[in-house]
Amino acid sequence: MSDKKSNKEKSEKANNAENKQENPFFDEKQKQQFENFANPIDADKIAVNPGLLPYAHTVGGAIIVPTEKGIMKSKALAAMEQQTEMQLDQIKEQINLLAQQAKEIQSRTQISLEIYNADMGFEPLVNHTYFLYERSKTGEKVLSMIAPDQWGRSSKLTFMAEVLLLADRTWKVIRENTEDENNIDI
């Protein structure tokens, strides 16, 4: 019975100590120091999970050497980046080519409109070369079969372009005017 009584007294003392939140291992001075303790290591420089770091986190830590798998991944990533860069450069070149082709089509459309609005006294044939002139006095466009160097009469025309009629009934500019052949007397 005395054992039961002494065990009961011990547990009551332990409960009382816990309720008072007293620690039997610290005296009052040590308790105060523990509560006022500030860690001297900067919290930003402490790893939360040091076991997951890709390098040794202590001086005596194990050396981390890249495995063959890591080397293989590194080479594969470098090759992938190079291949991606090469393909993007190829796409950029294609975009530039398409933009140039679009400008050429717009130019052909513009010249075709000017030619179809021009004065022509004949029906143009597909795959034949013609010459577009502008009358200096009126600004009116004229389509002719006569080249700038074949005129024998005197009249004032400005050479604009040598054109070819394509099968889709649009016109391809073979050459445009330059300063030396700008004005022709017919």
Residues 50-69 pLDDT 10s: 777 777 777 777 777 767 77
- Per-residue HEC secondary structure of 106-141 comes to HHHHHHHHHHHCCECCCCCCCCCEEEEEEECCCCCE
Residues 6+ apart with CB under 8 A from 173: 107, 108, 111, 161, 162, 163
The residue among 144 and 18 whose pLDDT is bigger is 144
As a whole number, mean pLDDT of residues 93-101 equals: 97
Per-residue pLDDT, averaged over 115-124, amounts to: 89
